[in-house]
């Protein structure tokens, strides 16, 4: 199973080249039956002017991980995935270290998917709670 997980994570990470995910140093680090985890370092390039993690960077991490989760749990040969709505509640500020986004499926059907995405720090403190709705559309 680890070899299979490693292969999926490698494909996910390779798909991030030359994208916002690469710019933000987002890396996919774990996958399970109904979840995907990504991490992002908190450095000055994702800070607000006062030196804490920017909420927009947090939301970009959440949407990146949720959309990738939707993509890997759908038939990517026949469908493409787009985020159609995201909401975020920011709980705690972070100045440095890594943050982790765990996207867990709440609802999945042929067209729409709803993801619960919890953002935590390395000590598992809750930083933000996000919900993402994605849509899967047929490839033409």
Q: What is the pLDDT of residues 79-115, one digit of tens each?
A: 889 999 999 999 999 999 999 999 999 999 889 999 9
Domains in the chain: ranges and CATH: 2-138 (3.10.129.10)
Is 78 within 8 Å of 138 (Cβ atoms)?
yes
Is 71 within 8 Å of 64 (Cβ atoms)?
no
Residues 6+ apart with CB under 8 A from 11: none
Which residue out of 33, 63, 85, 123 is catalytically annotated? 63
pLDDT given for residue 122 in this prediction: 96
SS3 18: coil
Cα–Cα distance, 81 to 87 (Å, whole number): 18
Residue 1 has pLDDT above 70, yes or no: no
pLDDT given for residue 65 in this prediction: 97
pTM for the full model? Answer: 0.94
Q: Quick check: is 63 catalytic?
A: yes
Closest CA relative to residue 4, chosen from 32, 26, 27, 28: 32
Mean pLDDT of the chain: 94
């Amino acid at each position: 199973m680890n070899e299979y997980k490693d292969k999926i994570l490698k494909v996910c990470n390779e798909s991030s080249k030359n994208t916002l995910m690469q710019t933000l140093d987002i890396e996919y680090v774990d996958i399970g039956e109904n979840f995907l985890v990504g991490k992002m370092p908190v450095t000055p390039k994702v800070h607000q002017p006062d030196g804490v993690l920017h909420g927009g960077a947090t939301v970009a991490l959440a949407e990146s991980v949720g959309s990738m989760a939707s993509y890997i749990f759908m038939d990517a040969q026949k469908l493409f995935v787009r985020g159609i709505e995201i909401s975020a509640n920011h709980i705690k500020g972070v100045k440095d270290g890594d943050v982790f986004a765990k996207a867990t499926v709440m609802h999945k059907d042929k067209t729409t998917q709803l993801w619960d995405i919890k953002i935590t720090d390395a000590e598992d403190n809750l930083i933000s709670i996000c919900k993402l709705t994605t849509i899967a559309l047929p490839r033409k």
